[in-house]
Structure 1
């Protein structure tokens, strides 16, 4: 049975798992406003202005996240092509899995394999550790390495990597991961890579936080070097791209 997402679940999870950032931002703004009263203009005006900008930036990022994760239907999967027969679906995460239950409901007759490539020695962000404590893994989740997904060659109809591939920060490791995806997918299968991009819309929404994402050119380079073909790019809002990949040279 499908577990419906709760109202505000997306944006509340962001605050929950990154509360240290918001505490710091709140303390910074209060500090600027407090210190500003001891200075005369124009420095007082500058300090107050910086505080207002910091507040606005934080609120904009939260509003953008609410739009992306809670309002825009990202997790409805209405964009999925249901025409092709699907026997095996793989969902790959980096330690935080919000989508396996939803995919299981979408592909009721398919075998769902859930893989987790989280490695605490490489993926050191405190937000992931908090998310893992808050959300237990999907039943049967298998722990794997990015270069060894433990999947037979040409065995999978659809592979989903939803908002997790960017956690592979090392470029060579990321290429190895995508080569492993290519080996696992069937000749007529599809790979779905859903990510924020390091681009103007995400900069406007998340400020310097957009550096956590990869540029589109970087993704395209990885796809090409892994021998994968970009069949289509869908935009889920200006902030999210869905790259649909297949094996080079195959007509689906």
Structure 2
């Protein structure tokens, strides 16, 4: 197993681009469609009879509200609350991450800040990106525009992580697991996480949820997320025990699922 070189203890924590800029880059077709809808709606409203004009203005206003609301929500989560600072982690893992595995899905934003926050902990990164499994345009653009996984990351599959059994104290899947769109791939990944965890170890899962708050913020885009019930089902199916749970900025949830300790 290869371990990534960790930053020195006195090295500053790595900075990261604005969350708003990143989301706009990776999801620009959605923003383009929204902006076009706004412009066309208002332009058509000036040329249509009264009732159709009202509908056109309503459509334009709805599209504008979704654009503004989703952009504001993205800023609130990624630029203001900064989930990649990992200042919430002590609530889930008071003992620290220990020897940990970071899972990415073509875009790794967790490994470097996590290593900088815990410079004494050994870290391994496995990238699960597979365009045959991860079919959304946004993750493909993110992979292409950012150069993909961290340098030194090991390629892996949901069914076979290239890590020895019981090798890690914790596994981190930060905004990565939802990119597996098939139920069986998610189940396989959770089973592999159980295999590589030591007894008493934790899977730390960080995701937006498909819930009322995210639907209000992101509109139809919230259907890309998975409901809380699905993450709990996956944990139960894999034999993981539900641990601490932390809400971040009202729109993101961090879960800690525990492997049973040795008898």
Deviation at 1:27, TM superposition (A): 1.3
Deviation at 1:85, TM superposition (A): 6.5
Counting matched residue pairs gives 248
Deviation at 1:149, TM superposition (A): 0.5
**Matched residue, 1:133:** 144
**Matched residue, 1:187:** 199
Structure 1 residues 166 and 86, CA gap change in structure 2 (3 angstroms): closer
**Matched residue, 1:70:** 79
Q: Do residues 37 (structure 1) and 46 (structure 2) align? A: yes
Point out 4+ residue stretches in structure 1 off by more than 6 angstroms.
none
CA distance in 2, matches of 1:87, 1:133: 31
1:97–1:135: 8 Å Cα contact kept in structure 2?
Answer: no
Q: Do residues 158 (structure 1) and 184 (structure 2) align? A: no
CA distance in 1, matches of 2:102, 2:254: 15
**Matched residue, 1:61:** 70
Q: Which runs of 5+ in 1 are unaligned?
A: none
2:154–2:162: 8 Å Cα contact kept in structure 1?
Answer: no
Q: Which runs of 5+ in 2 are unaligned?
A: 1-10
**Matched residue, 1:104:** 115
What pairs up with 1:1-252 in 2 under 5 angstroms?
A: 1=11, 2-6=13-17, 9-81=18-90, 84=95, 87-136=98-147, 137-248=149-260, 250=261
Deviation at 1:125, TM superposition (A): 2.1
1:156–1:186: 8 Å Cα contact kept in structure 2?
Answer: yes
CA distance in 1, matches of 2:116, 2:238: 31
**Structure-2-length-normalised TM-score:** 0.89
Secondary structure in 2 aligned to 1:5? coil
CA distance in 1, matches of 2:24, 2:218: 14
CA distance in 2, matches of 1:203, 1:126: 20
Q: Deviations over 1:211-232 (max 9, x none)?
A: 1011111111111011011111
1:93–1:116: 8 Å Cα contact kept in structure 2?
Answer: yes
2:37–2:59: 8 Å Cα contact kept in structure 1?
Answer: no
Structure 1 residues 86 and 213, CA gap change in structure 2 (3 angstroms): closer
Q: Deviations over 1:123-166 (max 9, x none)?
A: 12222222223323322111100110011111101111001101
Q: Deviations over 1:90-147 (max 9, x none)?
A: 1101100112110111221222101110111121222222222332332211110011
Deviation at 1:194, TM superposition (A): 0.2
